[in-house]
Structures are given as C-alpha cells and as structure tokens.
Amino acid sequence: MANIVVAFFLKGGPIMWPILVCAVVAIAVVGERTYWWWCETRLRDPEALMKVMDTLQRGDLGAAGRLSKGSRDPVIQMVDHGLNDHETSLQVAMQAAAGAALRRAGRFLPVMDTLVTLAPLLGLLGTVTGIMRSFTSLGGAELAVSKVTGGIGEALIATACGLGIAILSLIPLNYFGGKVAALQYELETVASSVEVLLNRLKGRSRQENNGTPG
C-alpha cells in the first residue's frame, strides 16, 4: 500500500514533495488537536464550577477561592486567578488567565488555515508545470504520446492532491475553530458573572457600612 502511495506521488512530479509535506503536517496537526481537545474535555468540571458560582452568590469569597484552587478546568482556573491573585485587579487577572487558555486552545490553527490556502496553490502550480511539460513535448521533433499524457497526468494528480488536502484540513479547522469560539464564550460569560456578583457584594457592603437598609 505504501509503495502504491509513493508511486502515485512520484507521478505528480517534483511539486508533489511540498504537497506531501503539507499532507504530513495536516495529519500531525489534526491528530495533536484531536488529542488536546479530548484531554481538555476530560478536565472540564461543570459541577465544581456551579459550586464556585453558588458560593460567590452567597457572598462567601473565601470559600469560593478555596473551591477554585487547584482545579484543572480552564474556566475555574480563570475564576481562581481573579479571586486569589491580589497583585492585580480582578478583571486583569481573569483576562490574563482567559487569554492563556484561548492561546492553548487555538494552538496550530493558523498552521491549518495556511495549509487550506497553500495546498490548492501548490496543486495549481503542479497543474501549470504539468501542462507546460505537455506543450513542450508537442513542440519536439518527435511526438511522444507518453510524454504528453505524463504531463497531463502530473497536472491532474497535483491538482487532486492539493484540493484533497485543503478539503480534509478545512473540516477540522472549522470544527476546532468552533470549539475555541465556544470556550471563549464560556470564559467571557463566567467572567462577567463573577464581576457582577462581586460588584453586587461591594454594593451591599457599602449600604451596610452607611447604615442604609438593603
């Protein structure tokens, strides 16, 4: 099977080597991202997040900070940074933690985006060089049908492989992009909820200090 694949690529001409590199990179990136998201899904703990948010709603900041400490859930880690990082403001701490989580989630997606564009262009380049070979053979003193068909075959193989890599890379690119967008939405929603709850607690504290009935 491997010999058939190698022979197929060799028939596509020299341009098939960079196309082959694109295919290998695409497979590696898709495999790495699939494994990363599988591991990330196992780290999610919605029950623990609900406990942290309920504790915040009751006004117990210390208990919420202890519950969020040590969690491997990226959303709870963001809340942990906001509650327990006293060197910066709550908003800045959560933004930094959310940004780090999104960078990890979006890793290698620009590479896949580049492959979706690059692979068809390489296939198109192979098409041009293959057609050029065919026309060069036509202009020779002795017409060789094998040379003409070889150039056309090179053009078709390069085009098919370039389009195939782009199509097969586009599907996981959109899927992983959707996963990143969903994670970003959840991070922003939880961060906004934490800020609203803490502002509400500060308002109650001011009212109590001023002796104003709530």
**CA distance linking residue 152 with residue 142, whole number of Å:** 18
Given this model, what pLDDT does residue 182 score? 96
pLDDT in tens, 193-204: 998 888 888 777
**Cβ burial, residue 3 (10 Å; 0-12/13-18/19+):** exposed
Alpha carbons 214 and 212: distance in angstroms, whole number = 6
Give me 17's structure tokens: 């080597």
List Cβ neighbours of 43 (8 Å cut-off, separation of 6 or more): 72, 73, 74
pLDDT at 214: 47
DSSP-assigned letter for residue 73: -
pTM: 0.82
Report the distance separating Cα 60 and Cα 62, nearest Å: 6
* pLDDT range class, residue 38, cuts 50, 70, 90: very high
Q: Are 173 and 113 in contact (CB under 8 A)?
A: yes
